[in-house]
Amino acid sequence: MKAGGWPMIPLLILSAVALAIIIERLWTLRRRAVLPPNLGQEVRAWAAGGKLDPAHIESLRATAPLGALLAAALDVRGRPREEIRERIEDVGRHLVHRMERYLNTLGTIAAAGPLLGLFGTVVGMIQMFLVINDHGIGDVNQLAGGIGKALVCTATGMIVAIPALMAHRWFRGRISEYIVAMEHEAIALVDVLQQHPGEGRASEPRPVRLAGGQG
């Protein structure tokens, strides 16, 4: 703060927000929290054995995003494959939106950090040249020190932006991996549901695609 002046205040605020988002997303997007081990296999076993009731499905829905997706398929298990697929895609879009929560904010911080740093540098340089205009160059050492202080904002902006950008890209990639795994589990469950009498004859298979944000 002393070195960079008041333009450091928004940079420090952004750094705190970025750190909070990264910690929250790291906890929320743990693999165990999104894709509990063996959950898909367990649900397929339930479906194959007919051990399904509303309370059981609601419990599954509350476990994890994967559980919510599979519960959506079980809600309409007696309908044609096309309707099951559409329900999975609808619920999947909401789940992807939840997993991408705060990532737009993190991306904005990554983009705004260097700009705020540059703004602080420009403000510092303007102040320094105004002093020179009033009092002359004076001590060259003081002039060099003033330039160094102005550049502190630029360095701080990069320090804030680089980790935020890396975390943003990493979270996007992790969510894309989760989407692929959830699609696989959903297709496997639909195949099991279609194998049972009374579930309706399986229509021509079509891939289930969950909507994901672009990196």
In a domain, 109, yes or no: yes
pLDDT band at 143 (very low <50, low <70, confident <90, very high): low
pLDDT per residue as tens digits for the range 80-91: 888 888 899 999
Q: pLDDT tens digit string along 10-43?
A: 899 999 999 999 999 999 999 999 999 989 888 8
Residue 52 has pLDDT above 90, yes or no: no
Answer yes or no: are the C-beta atoms of 120 and 11 closer than 8 Å.
Answer: yes
137 pLDDT more than 70: no
142 assigned to some structural domain: yes
Least reliable range by pLDDT among 99-108, 126-135, 158-167, 205-214: 205-214
> C-alpha 50: how far from its chain's center?
36
Q: Can you give the residue range of the structural domain that contains 141? A: 8-194
Q: Has residue 132 been placed in a domain?
A: yes
Query: DSSP string spanning 67-107?
Result: HHHHHHHHHTTTS-HHHHHHHHHHHHHHHHHHHTTTHHHHH
> How many domains, the chain?
1
- Asked if residue 209 is part of any domain, the answer here is no
Q: Are 98 and 166 in contact (CB under 8 A)?
A: no
Model pTM? 0.79
